[in-house]
Amino acid sequence: MSNYLSPAALPPHVLDRSDVRRALERHDFGAVFKLARQWGGISFSKIADACGIKPERVGKLARGEGTITTYEKITQIADALRIPGHLAGLSPRPWESDQSQAAADETAPVASLELPSLAPDPDLLDRLTKTVRGATRADSSTLDWLDRLLAEHRKAEDDIGSRPLVGIMRQQLATVVGLHDAASGDVATRVVRLASEHAQFLAWMAQDQGNSSAALAWYDRSHDWAMEAAGADMAATTLSMKAHLAWSAGDGRRCARLAQAARWASPGTSRGVQGMAAQMEARGYALSGEADAAHRLLDEAQHLIARAAERPEDEPPWMYFYGENWFTLQRGMTAMHLRRWEAAADLLRTGIDALPASYRRDRSWYGACLAHALAAAGHADAAAHTALGCATDASDVGRPHAWNELHTTAALLLRHGAPQARGLIDALAGCG
């Protein structure tokens, strides 16, 4: 498999970008670093460690301050980022021959991150390869593995963010769709259902990157496939996620209506999926300032999620992060909409403390929201400290949402005349 998860090696889809290649031709390594973070999810700190450059200088180079000119440092960067010599005007690097041999020996039939826990055994690998190449039909074993592959990439996205995954997941979806023509009966239905799950994940990643039009198109595709495959849980989930899009756009009424549709349009959904829809409806009402309706629905959602936790085997795999702690965070977000800043801060702080360290994107998002709540409540020191603590992850994997929330926090502090505002503004500028 490819080395997508190595600390600073540029993935193929980044090396293939025209803007990256132009930057390499100019030896504009600051632009390369910035594009590596934007499209590869590689943080400046990882680049600094791999290249032997101070993190402060990596940031300055990314902002166009300074250049790299020495042959020794250029070759060191090329080797650290696994940039083939010809792209940077160098002779072939020593590791390129090993990489070429590895590519020649590559047998992975499906695009993927480097996830050793998912490496198929030889028999399954042979079946997967033949299935993908059209030599044989998909069967339950190959679809089981593709289910696991999707689930693991969902979890990886919590850590590395969505940008490095979009190209990989589009390739995985193409592979799944390609299995349909030769499939029949229950297997064909399962292929369509799996395609709907891939489309929903692509929709979420588009939404995460602030591309609402692409997200809506993918949600529509996912919903159609889910209905075709009688996938009630995914059909309802796509409507709930459309409600989330409306919430992100500040449209509380549309958010509530779509969440209601998620509950009545797809009967037979799991309790967790019902709870997700109920809490989205609550957030819509909170955004509209309707506190009583919001709290009533939050109570209902909490009951549903608690019941779901009693039988986790009944929940679809994309509901893996829904639980009591996640619900605490949603109560915190609802309190923010209702401008109950102290309550929001307490709930968000409790929820963040219980989030796994690997959930970098979620920790940066909720951390930025906590900073916002603290600033609005008048706790300037705590707000600035919290914002600074999540700034790096917000910059690396939390753009645009967490990043924008940090700028909102800085603006609030500035509006209140807090001296901490200037330090936060400078720190955010330093993150690029």
186-242 pLDDT tens trace: 999 999 999 999 999 999 999 998 899 999 999 999 999 999 999 999 999 999 999
Q: How far apart are CA 326 and CA 352, in angstroms?
A: 9
Q: What is the per-residue burial (b if ≥16 Cβ within 10 Å, else e) of 126-142?
A: ebbbebbeeeeebeeeb
Encoded amino acid at 389, one letter: G
Residues 148-185: tens digit of each pLDDT: 999 999 988 888 888 888 888 998 999 999 999 889 99
Angle at the Cα of 227 from the Cα atoms of 226 and 228, rounded to 5 degrees: 90
Nearest alpha-carbon partner for 398 in 428, 422, 378: 428
Question: With contact defined as beta carbons under 8 Å apart, do 85 and 78 qualify?
Answer: yes
Task: Answer yes or no: are the C-beta atoms of 13 and 41 closer than 8 Å.
Answer: no
Tell me the pLDDT band of 134, cut-offs 50, 70 and 90. confident
Structure tokens at 281: 């409806």
3-state secondary structure 5-56: CCCCCCCHHHHCCHHHHHHHHCCCHHHHHHHHHHHHCCCHHHHHHHHCCCHH
Q: How far apart are CA 69 and CA 64, in angstroms?
A: 14
At 206 the three-state DSSP class reads helix
Average pLDDT over residues 29-50: 87
pLDDT value of position 323? 78
Whether 117 has a pLDDT exceeding 80, the answer reads: no
Q: Which of 382, 384, 378 is nearest to 409 (CA)?
A: 384
* Mean of per-residue pLDDT scores for the chain: 88
CA quadruple 417, 421, 426, 431: dihedral sign: negative
- The yes-or-no verdict on residue 287 having pLDDT over 90 is yes
Q: What is the mean pLDDT of residues 128-150?
A: 88
Amino acid at 366: Y
Query: 99: part of which helix (H) or strand (E)?
Result: helix 94-105
98 pLDDT tier (thresholds 50, 70, 90) = low
pLDDT given at position 3:
36
Reported as half-sphere exposure (CB side, CA atoms, 13 A), residue 256 has a value of 16
Q: Which of 6-10, 97-101, 279-283, 294-298 is predicted least confidently? A: 97-101
Please choose, from the candidates 101, 79, 75, the residue with its C-alpha nearest in 3D space to the C-alpha of residue 89.
Answer: 75
DSSP 266: S
> Measured over all CA atoms, what is the biggest interatomic distance in the chain, rounded to whole angstroms?
69
Given this model, what pLDDT does residue 108 score? 63
* pLDDT at residue 245 greater than cutoff 80: yes
pLDDT of residue 116: 63
Asked whether residue 107 carries a pLDDT value surpassing 80, the answer given is: no
Torsions phi, psi for 157 (to 5 deg): -65, -25
Q: At what angle do helices 18-25 and 29-40 cross, to 10 degrees?
A: 160
Residue partners of 430: CB distance under 8 A and separation at least 6: 56, 59
